[in-house]
Amino acid sequence: MKSAGNDKKLWQRYVDNLYTKEDLRQLSDKLKDPQTTGVLHDLMSDIWEESAAQSSGSLSDRERYKEEARQLLQRLRPAPRFPFRRLAAVAASVAAVCCLVLGGVYFWQTRQQVDINYLEVSTSYGERKEVRLPDGTFVMLNACSSVRYPEHFVGDERRITLEGEGYFRVRHDDSQPFLVVTPSLRVRVLGTCFDVKAYSSDQMMSVDVEEGKVQVDLPEAMMRLTANERVLINTLSGEYAKQKEEGEVASWRTGSLRFYRTPLFDVARELERRYHCRIVFADGVGSDNLISGQHDNKTLEAVLRSIEYASGIHYRAEGDSIVLYK
């Protein structure tokens, strides 16, 4: 009896729109239980009878209230469980079959790729290293660079990842394009010779083509380069410029340093990688000074003297560092 009284109060609060979230949860639980449906129906009838008796409405009004209560209970009553369970079982069976089919297809498509091992080759300060990829492609890494590649190429492309600078002589294969991926650009080729400079610490990046043609994909642009062409990309401003290549591609392979309107900051990073030194900027020295020139197998001091003569930027040694100042 006490339980029926509590249920009646619960329904009364619901009808009067004065219920809480906990009331609604309890009401929902009771509606899901088929054993309480008849009891709740009687309680709803009593509530609406009492509401009608307290008002001045006519007999027809009370009948209408009872009908509204019955309709409300019908809307709130959960659907029969057995049909839903049977439908859910059928849906689950269909989903299981689909998963098996799709899983089988995916397994056969990726079976060859599951056991692929990746290799990585890197260089340190002042070091250059030659790498032969699984397809016969030749790579030469500049100082402080790394290349990551699969033990063998599968699928519809030959994809490798580069950090730093590398010179590539790609074995030609029309059916499997070669893709060099860096943080800021991608280079796609079928077979050609080119250089990619993409140090994450530098402001400027570049792609230089020695022979053949390449496609360079940038975040918001795409361009094609042919032999003796290069593209310079400013990672800070997003600007890029395509130009004719005037000198030897990847002259660093023979020990040369070449700068073409290179920001002083990038020049300093290049000297650090080549000579394993530390270069800092004094106050008032901007990294936006642009340096041009070529230095063939010169010492660090000889290069610094050339920069000093061309730009007016002086240098001095302080402990383990070289300070650039005006």
Same domain, 292 and 209: no
Domain boundary among 76, 105, 138: 76
- Which tokens go with 21? 């979230």
Range of the domain at 15: 2-76
Side chain identity, residue 219: P
Of 14-23, 147-156, 183-192, 263-272, the poorest mean pLDDT is in 14-23
In a domain, 157, yes or no: yes
In a domain, 271, yes or no: yes
pLDDT (tens digit per residue) in 3-40: 666 676 666 655 544 555 566 677 677 766 666 656 55
In a domain, 154, yes or no: yes
Return the CATH number at 271: 3.55.50.30
pTM of the prediction? Answer: 0.65
pLDDT (tens digit per residue) in 260-310: 889 999 999 999 999 999 999 998 887 678 999 999 989 999 999 999 998
Cβ–Cβ < 8 Å for 313, 307 = yes
Q: How far is CA 261 from CA 151, 172, 252, 253, 265, in A?
A: 39, 34, 17, 21, 12
Same domain, 131 and 9: no
Same domain, 70 and 168: no
- Which tokens go with 129? 């290293």
Same domain, 15 and 43: yes
Token pair 């089988």 is found at 104
How many structural domains is the chain composed of? 3
